[in-house]
Amino acid sequence: MCWMCEQFGDQKHGDGLWYLNPRNYARNMYKLRAPGEKPKGADAGLETGVMEGPSIQDLISAVEKNDKEGFERMRKIMQEVGQGQQVVPLADADKILELSSPIGLESCICRKADRARDERNEFQYTCMGMGVGMLKWERWPERYKGGVRFVNVEEAKEWNHEMDDRGFVHILMLFGAPYIGGFCQCDYPDCGALRSAVDFGVGTLKSHYLAKVDYSKCNGCGICAQRCQWGALKFETTSGKANIDMFKCFGCGLCHTACPRQAISLVRRESVPAVAEVWL
């Protein structure tokens, strides 16, 4: 069980998974900042790439200075600021979208900053905002100058499935745990959340699942190997089949949804002892 489930989960709902606890979607979980209080985390300036507290730049400097203690300390602070954003496979994403309202599609801030993608209309949007925070979207004009398209649950699910087909990982974005503010659609290297998790082990928690290959069904077509963003799944030449490094697997389920022979299944992380508590 991850610490988010310990804190925000409910055994009566959704198997104890924190993001399937309907209480976490309530209006009063959304933190209103008191006047005079400094913004924190993403609220501090997602547009400018300036966050409060340590940044990836500080982690890079710590590696250069051989400062392991400093690195660990900053990593912990960054984990708190990230507030438990988590990778979620497609099946769970559908359940989340049923719980959350309103849902809006918008431009992706990471792609804008890292790859200069200016998503200007609803056909280009690659980000999904969720929850009551969407109703104050005009507070971030730069982010939303491409506009917002509000969608209903069915449209949102369909869109999420399309993004999955394209090969994007779904990462829950939190703005003040456990308030869920959106679904990032991520890939390596241009997505901040996914990249920080792969390169530095900060920010994003691994999902509650792991991908497992059924070798009797796998025919070695290699479709899954094209989709792994974590460097966990590779094509093993000797056996001619897919091979998954479970330590690196984040359980996003992209290989699972792409497999034409249903040879890759998602199993609960708890069922694999050595990686049961590997969340970062």
Partner 1 sequence: MTIPAKMPEFIWGRQFPKIKIDHTKCTVPFLCKKCLEICPVAAFNVSRVMSLEKKLEEMDPRVDGNYVLHVSRRDKCTGCNLCIEVCPVNAISIEVPKMERLRPEVKGGQWTS
| 274 lines the binding site for partner 1 (CB under 8 A) | yes
Round to whole Å and give the CA distance between 212 and 263. Answer: 8
Binding mask 66-85 for partner 1 (x = CB under 8 A): x-x-----------------
* 267 DSSP β-pair partners: 210
Round to whole Å and give the CA distance between 40 and 68. Answer: 25
**Minimum CB–partner distance for residue 159 and partner 1 (Å):** 25
Q: Which of residues 94-153 bind partner 1 (CB under 8 A)?
A: 112-116, 118, 141-142, 145
| 195 lines the binding site for partner 1 (CB under 8 A) | yes
Supply 34's token pair: 């008191």
Supply 241's token pair: 């089949």
The SS3 assignment for 142 reads helix
Cα dihedral value 71, 74, 75, 78, nearest 10: -160
Stretch that binds partner 1, among 84-92, 160-168, 195-203, 216-224 (CB under 8 A): 195-203
Which residue lies nearer to partner 1 by CB, 48 or 237?
48
Q: What are phi and psi of 238, to 5 degrees?
A: -60, -50
Binding mask 22-61 for partner 1 (x = CB under 8 A): -----------------------x-xxx------xx--x-
Round to whole Å and give the CA distance between 130 and 172. Answer: 10
Q: Which residues bind partner 1 (CB under 8 A)?
A: 3, 45, 47-49, 56-57, 60, 63-66, 68, 112-116, 118, 141-142, 145, 189-190, 195, 198-201, 247-248, 274-275, 277-280
